Amino acid sequence: MSTFEHAELIQNINESLTPFRKSQSQAMQGFGQLAKAAMAEGAISAKNKELIALAIGITQHCSGCVAFHVKALLKMGCTREELEEMLTICVYMGGGPALMYSAEALKAWDTLA
């Protein structure tokens, strides 16, 4: 990531999507409902679901996903130890590119904490 701070990235994404959310309100409401249902507490805890979502964001090379899911994990009381352990799985499964996005996730953690 360049000099963007993760909080600024989140704000820019939200601002950029505002007109799209209005013009495609039904689709975006559907996406919101899907996200809410998928991330709800269940057999897998909501925090573990956020860790999974972050892992997918890392392996898919999505900076916005990294920022949003790190922010959510911080709110949920995730520890840095939990984050780092999950990152090792990302690197194991995703190799060097996942290692680079793991560094971004750690920067987001430090920036947003």
Buried b (16+ CB within 10 A) or exposed e, 67-103: bbbbbbbbeeebeeeebeebbebbbeebeeebeebbe
The answer to whether residue 37 sits within a structural domain is yes
pLDDT digits (tens, 9 = 90+) for 5-53: 888 999 999 999 999 999 999 999 999 999 999 999 999 999 999 999 9
> Could you give the number of structural domains in the chain?
1
Q: Which of 47, 49, 56, 64 is nearest to 12 (CA)?
A: 64
Residue 2 is predicted with a pLDDT of 44
pLDDT of 3 above 60: no
Residue 5 is predicted with a pLDDT of 84
pLDDT of 72 above 80: yes
The answer to whether residue 85 sits within a structural domain is yes
Which residues, 6+ apart, have CB-to-CB distance to 8 below 8 Å?
Answer: none
The answer to whether residue 76 sits within a structural domain is yes
Q: Please state, as a whole number, how many other Cβ atoms lie within 10 Å of the Cβ of residue 61.
A: 14
The answer to whether residue 53 sits within a structural domain is yes
What residues make up the domain containing 76? 6-112
Residue 4 is predicted with a pLDDT of 57
The answer to whether residue 1 sits within a structural domain is no
CATH code: domain of residue 85: 1.20.1290.10
CB of 37 within 8 A of CB of 76? no
